[in-house]
């Protein structure tokens, strides 16, 4: 089947009604989160559903870097306060962003005519369920807590739930959620015994995680004072207690989250539980702008304590608790199952049938999606290339120099100051948000000096630094796979590579009929890999030579930046592909029920048979390290870049 060049017909609304409706609730939660990882300005660690290739997993393992104490309490609020920003500013910024062709995404494998549709008009239009290594799809369908034969100190007694009055509970809940101006809540101890005080202490801490308590004498009476845990004390190790020997050391649970990043959710949990984030483990990070369901494991925290969090958490729920003897590891998952709604589609029934049949039978090109490359005028792969070239002045310049497009005001001022003075202290003064990449690098330059950029850059968390070189790997791979499809089409040819077990071998002339395009892999550039024995092998070398890199020596003098190679399939054929076209009138209503809807007994809205709009509901499963947006791109024949989407939707943005 012939390949088709890309044409741009995408529709996407970057900010929708449900975002605005939840704005106040989200702001309240941001105030209570004091341990948040990440950065901004297009340099953020990708938070996509897809997982890194196995070669990259060795670099990240289960590392969760605890956050440094904020230099200013408002850091998180400043960092995210205008996340969506003014629509016109957002559109202006995206004029200088990347398109798919900028990162090598140029081909399609299907022959149907493209049509338009709105992707992620609501975050609830994109649902991801994790598939474990045993093939089981994670679902949130049970809030019950497993019962142990042995009693644990942290398991509250029945008295815990009745010792506090309704008025006490209301005041404590408001304190916990920071809904009032009180800094503490005092509860009078009517029956002043040590046992009674212990029960009250335990009740507050169990029912209102995140609050600490102390006993005080006031006017001859005893009071239990509840207050918010803060700073390093909030991240202290769990209180020592006996843990039943018959119980597995890890509590596994299903995390259901809405419009929230995986690490953000874990940081909130660690804050409320007063533990460090690195006692949590998981198999993969999931999209922020979506509803996602995944398994999490935590060391020696009881299911009962976790279940109490459901009373106060916003945007996520915990359930399906069990105790096991092992944590989870990155990359252990078998993949992810997606349920996606594309709204306001324009395709005919015949076009949709052709597109979905092609997706099921042929698949899509296994490109790295746009999330991998950042959104600003300085793509992450350019910084990665400078790192691999050992050009540290260029790395510093790319991160700190002024760039076209609208940015948050403090970043613009910081960059202008840097361009004018090259003084890290002066530039840092313009930057209230210190944990962004720019702030981290400037702090490093202050600490180590302008002549030691390598050490200054090393202050940036390791996962963030590695993101840049992996972005360059992805950039090379995307360009090479486009050349491979253009040169040889959708068939295996002599000189291609295929995997036999974990080893890549060349397909020989006499053996080519035994293979299809779905067997063909291509290398991510790095050491210990082989390249195709045809034109594409030479194209790899030419591309790296043009970038002043030696394809035969990808070892860096700094071990962290040595690129280990891997192999990646050219074409991915999704599994469990199903679809349905539905009509609707109101763009605000959901078009399917989520796990939480089912638990809460919410019925699916009755849809009209002949509505004003049509939507394509599609389901499919993908293996790790693949991008659902690239599958959707193949269905719609659309450019998935934010730059293209905003340019096509300027009327909505206004």
Residue 613, burial from CB neighbour count under 10 angstroms (0-12, 13-18, 19+): middle
Report the alpha-carbon distance of residue 532 to residue 488 in Å, rounded.
12
287 part of the active site: yes
586 exposed, middle or buried (CB, 10 Å; 0-12, 13-18, 19+)? Answer: exposed
DSSP assignment string, 302-369: -HHHHHHGGGT-SSEEEEEEEEES----TT---EEEEEEEEES----HHHHHHHHHHHHHT-EE-PPP
| Options 53, 125, 287, 639, the catalytic residue | 287
Integer CA distances (angstroms), 151 to 125, 241, 275, in order = 43, 11, 22
Strands 520-524 and 497-500: antiparallel
* 8 Å CB contact between 433 and 424: no
Q: H/E element holding 547?
A: none
User: In angstroms, rounded to a whole number, what is the distance separating the alpha carbons of residues 69 and 73?
Assistant: 9
* Residue 441 CB burial class (10 angstroms; 0-12, 13-18, ≥19): buried
Strand pairing class (280-282; 291-299): antiparallel
Name residues whose C-beta falls within 8 Å of residue 24's C-beta, 6 or more positions apart in sequence. Answer: none
Phi-psi region of 88 (alpha: psi -120 to 50; beta: other; left: phi over 0): alpha
Query: What's the Rg (C-alpha) of the chain?
Result: 26
Handedness of CA 537, 541, 543, 544 (dihedral sign): positive
Strands 497-500 and 335-343: unpaired
What is the token pair recorded at 242? 């006996």
Q: Which residues are catalytic?
A: 287
């Amino acid at each position: 089947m012939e390949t088709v060049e890309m044409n741009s017909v995408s529709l996407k609304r970057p900010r929708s009604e449900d975002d605005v409706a939840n704005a106040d609730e989200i702001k309240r939660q941001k105030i209570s989160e004091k341990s948040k990882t990440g950065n901004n300005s297009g340099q953020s660690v990708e938070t996509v559903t897809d997982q890194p290739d196995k070669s990259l997993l060795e670099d990240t393992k289960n590392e969760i870097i605890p956050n440094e104490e904020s230099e200013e309490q408002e850091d998180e609020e400043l960092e995210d306060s205008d996340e969506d920003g003014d629509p016109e500013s957002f559109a202006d910024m995206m004029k200088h962003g990347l398109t798919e062709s900028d990162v090598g995404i140029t081909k399609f494998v299907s022959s149907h005519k493209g049509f338009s549709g709105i992707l992620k008009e609501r975050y609830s239009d994109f649902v991801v369920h994790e598939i474990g290594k045993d093939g089981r799809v994670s679902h949130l369908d049970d809030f019950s807590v497993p019962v142990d034969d042995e009693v644990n100190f942290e398991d509250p007694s029945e008295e815990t739930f009745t010792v506090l009055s309704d008025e006490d509970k209301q005041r404590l809940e408001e304190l916990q959620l920071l809904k009032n101006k009180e800094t503490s809540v005092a509860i009078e101890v009517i029956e002043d015994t040590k046992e009674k005080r212990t029960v009250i202490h335990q009740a507050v801490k169990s029912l209102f995680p995140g609050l600490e308590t102390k006993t005080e004498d006031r006017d001859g009476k005893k009071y239990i004072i509840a207050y918010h845990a803060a700073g390093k004390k909030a991240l202290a190790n769990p209180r020592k207690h006996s843990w039943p020997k018959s119980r597995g050391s890890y509590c596994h649970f299903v995390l259901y989250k809405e419009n929230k990043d995986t690490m953000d959710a874990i940081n909130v949990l660690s804050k409320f539980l007063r533990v460090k984030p690195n006692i949590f483990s998981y198999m993969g990070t999931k999209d922020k702008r979506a509803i996602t369901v995944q398994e999490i494991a935590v060391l020696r925290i009881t299911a009962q304590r976790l279940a109490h969090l459901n009373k106060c958490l916003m945007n996520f729920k915990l359930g399906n608790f069990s105790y096991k003897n092992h944590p989870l590891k990155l990359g252990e998952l078998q993949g992810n199952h997606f349920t996606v709604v594309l709204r306001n589609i324009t395709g005919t029934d015949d076009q949709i049938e052709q597109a979905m049949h092609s997706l099921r039978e042929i698949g899509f090109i296994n490109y790295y999606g746009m999330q991998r490359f950042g959104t600003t005028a300085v793509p992450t792969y350019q910084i990665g290339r400078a790192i691999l070239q050992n050009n540290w002045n260029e790395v510093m310049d790319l991160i700190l120099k002024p760039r076209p497009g609208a940015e948050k005001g403090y970043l613009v001022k910081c960059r202008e100051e840097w361009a004018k003075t090259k003084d890290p202290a002066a530039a840092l003064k313009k930057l209230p948000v210190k944990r962004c990449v720019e702030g981290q690098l400037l702090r490093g330059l202050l600490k180590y000096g302008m002549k030691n950029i390598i050490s200054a850059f090393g202050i940036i968390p390791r996962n963030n630094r590695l993101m840049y070189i992996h972005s360059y790997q992805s950039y090379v791979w995307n360009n090479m796979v486009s050349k491979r499809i253009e040169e040889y089409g959708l068939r295996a040819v002599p000189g291609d590579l295929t995997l036999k077990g974990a080893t890549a071998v060349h397909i020989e002339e006499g053996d080519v009929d035994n293979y299809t395009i779905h067997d063909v892999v291509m290398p991510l550039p790095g050491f210990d890999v082989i390249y195709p024995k045809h034109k594409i092998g030479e194209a790899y070398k030419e591309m790296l030579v043009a970038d002043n890199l030696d394809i035969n020596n990808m070892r860096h003098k700094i071990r962290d930046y040595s690129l280990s190679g891997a192999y990646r399939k050219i074409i991915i054929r999704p599994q469990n592909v199903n679809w349905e076209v539905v009509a609707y009138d109101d763009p605000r209503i959901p078009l399917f029920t989520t796990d939480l809807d089912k638990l809460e007994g919410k019925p699916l809205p009755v849809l009209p048979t002949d509505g004003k709009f049509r939507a394509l509901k599609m389901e499919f499963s993908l293996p790790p390290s693949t991008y659902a947006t690239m599958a959707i791109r193949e269905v719609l024949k659309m450019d998935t870049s934010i730059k293209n989407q905003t340019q096509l939707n300027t009327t909505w943005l206004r």
